[in-house]
Amino acid sequence: MLKKTIDIPQNGSTFPFELCQRNLSFGEAGPGKYYWMDGRQFRTESGGSNFRSCVDFWWACAEQANESDDFDNQVNLVLAEIYTLINTSRAMQNVFLDAQLWKPKDESLPSNKSQQSGEKERSLPAAEISRLRQIVDSRNVVEVQNELEQLFLGDQPEEHTRPQFNEEFQNWVLEPLKIFRKGGRQKLHNYIHGELKNKISKLRKRGNNSDSRLFLNMFSYECKVAFYLCYASAWAFILPRLEQYDGLNELSVRFMRMWHHQNQSGEIEGKIYHIFSGQVLSLHPLSAFVLNDSTALSVIGNWVGHLEYQHLIESNQVADSPEYWEVVLIILIAANEYKQSHQKWDESRGKNELVDTPKVEQNASITSDLSVAESIEDYLARRSIFCEECAGLLGYHDPLATGNQGTVNLRCRSCGQKTNMKIDSVDFKKYLVDSSDVENYKD
């Protein structure tokens, strides 16, 4: 995996974006390149450098277009800025499932056999794939969305409580909006990381109030969706620059326009629907199931390499293309495979403990209900501890056979370099306690 930084100018400033890169094969359509941002950084306390670039760049675009006074844009800015307060909380998974799963080393990279043969042994039963095929063959967008909602959509307020939820949401947004309009972005930042942070912390500690928990989870998810709009907007400018200066081919550009695009709400026959609940495919874990499957990439190649691709896009006739619906099928299959993997992961997590003192066990359960593996990986990312070989993210294996408490086996998710490390138990306990105080609560 290669890395590079690309600078995008806008409104008198320059915004750096740190990108990862890998080669892809779209089957008979030909080769391509895939660029992406390290999504794990978005789930650290600061959100990482790309978080700041995405939000600041998006706002610079609004200012450049003289749309900084637009109410919707201001609300989106406020929500996106709040995202760093809640981005480490797993409570949002109760609204829409997009949790990253820890994978063993032999599942983190594409199988050579799969890549050579062009085939993958599906983990879904044939009958299940046939059912998904029937959904796709119906050419009904609502049915596709219903399938995704059944897989990922979580708790929602009762119909009679929704007006109350909407009113509370407006109250939560209007206060920081007033502060922003009066004092600018710095005053907004101070409010978010001061008064609002304390407000969220107090609300989370009232864990016995189900309505309060649900509201905070939904509010948090709206903040994530607001940030995803900033993310997707950045890619609208990044791709042309890559195409111009890196010789990115047409297949690559078309694929990334789809994969980094935010799937916003739409309307069919007067009914509002959410195509993918504001998600970006590249930031959802199902993306890995597609990118590491040569057969799926070939199917995508048939669509992005279609001779009539541009005409179908410009004339809004995408739904007339069988190749497009095959891509939809691939996404549905990947979504089901992810959900199946998540269920297995959820059943097995937490069986091994890194530390076993009562204090740490209590705080670990109060925090984000993470597995030990994910807790360690999150801890390393927050402390900016990366692979010494390639600066890649470190993944957890298992405790060393010697049983030394706090010593773990790690493997780089990028280059595969193995290492072991002694985790500072005092600092790790502090990480757990800090998380429990301001980020998460036990559901």
pLDDT tens, 162-186?
A: 999 999 999 999 999 999 999 999 9
Amino acid in the structure at residue 405: Q
State residue 205's pLDDT score.
Answer: 75
State residue 360's pLDDT score.
Answer: 37
Calculate the CA 197 to chain-centre distance.
22
Which backbone phi and psi does 19 adopt, to 5 degrees?
-115, 150
Which backbone phi and psi does 391 adopt, to 5 degrees?
65, 20
Cα separation of 197 and 191, whole Å?
8
- In terms of Cα–Cα distance, which of 274, 203, 260, 219 is closest to 78? 219
State residue 201's pLDDT score.
Answer: 87
State residue 155's pLDDT score.
Answer: 86
Whether residue 275 is predicted with pLDDT greater than 90 in this model: the reply is: no
Contact (CB, 8 A) for 283 and 99: no
Q: Can you read off the two tokens belonging to residue 115?
A: 């890549």
Q: Which of the four pLDDT bands, split at 50, 70 and 90, describes residue 263?
A: confident
Q: Which of the four pLDDT bands, split at 50, 70 and 90, describes residue 415?
A: low
Question: pLDDT tens digits for 314-325?
Answer: 998 998 999 999
State residue 18's pLDDT score.
Answer: 96
For 127, 203, 290, the CA distances from 333, given in Å and listed in that order, are 12, 38, 9
Q: How far apart are the first and last CA of the chain?
A: 38
Within the chain, what is the greatest distance between any pair of CA atoms? 64
State residue 208's pLDDT score.
Answer: 60
Whether residue 102 is predicted with pLDDT greater than 80 in this model: the reply is: no
Q: Which of the four pLDDT bands, split at 50, 70 and 90, describes residue 302?
A: very high
State residue 223's pLDDT score.
Answer: 95
Percentage of the chain beyond pLDDT 70 is: 78
Q: Can you read off the two tokens belonging to residue 413?
A: 């998710």
- If you average pLDDT over every residue of the chain, what do you get? 82
Whether residue 330 is predicted with pLDDT greater than 90 in this model: the reply is: yes
State residue 370's pLDDT score.
Answer: 44
Q: Which of the four pLDDT bands, split at 50, 70 and 90, describes residue 350?
A: very low
Whether residue 260 is predicted with pLDDT greater than 90 in this model: the reply is: yes
- Show Cβ contacts of residue 129 under 8 Å, excluding neighbours closer than 6 positions: 122, 333
What single DSSP character describes residue 100? P
Question: pLDDT tens digits for 137-155?
Answer: 999 888 998 999 999 999 8
State residue 384's pLDDT score.
Answer: 62
Positive or negative, the Cα torsion across 285, 288, 289, 295? positive
Q: Which of 61-75, 185-199, 278-292, 367-381 has the lowest mean pLDDT?
A: 367-381
Residues 39-46 have a mean pLDDT of 87
Q: Which of the four pLDDT bands, split at 50, 70 and 90, describes residue 46?
A: confident
- In terms of Cα–Cα distance, which of 312, 309, 320, 322 is closest to 250? 309
- Show Cβ contacts of residue 292 under 8 Å, excluding neighbours closer than 6 positions: 109, 110, 111, 114
> Rounded to the nearest 5 degrees, what angle is found at the Cα of 71, between the Cα atoms of 67 and 72?
85
Cα separation of 109 and 106, whole Å?
6
Report which of residues 196 and 246 the model is more confident about: 196
Highest mean pLDDT of the ranges 99-103, 104-108, 367-371 = 99-103
Residues 185-214 have a mean pLDDT of 87
Cα separation of 103 and 413, whole Å?
10
State residue 118's pLDDT score.
Answer: 38
Q: Which of the four pLDDT bands, split at 50, 70 and 90, describes residue 265?
A: low
Amino acid in the structure at residue 91: A
State residue 73's pLDDT score.
Answer: 97
Q: Which of the four pLDDT bands, split at 50, 70 and 90, describes residue 66?
A: very high
Q: Which of 2-11, 154-163, 169-178, 198-207 has the lowest mean pLDDT?
A: 198-207
For 61, 285, 346, 349, the CA distances from 341, given in Å and listed in that order, are 39, 11, 8, 12
State residue 258's pLDDT score.
Answer: 94
Cα separation of 438 and 418, whole Å?
33
Q: Long-range CB contacts (< 8 A, 24+ apart) of 413-419?
A: 413/108, 414/1, 414/387, 414/390, 415/1, 415/387, 415/389, 415/390, 416/105, 416/109, 417/387, 417/388, 417/389, 417/390, 419/387, 419/388, 419/394
- Show Cβ contacts of residue 317 under 8 Å, excluding neighbours closer than 6 positions: 311
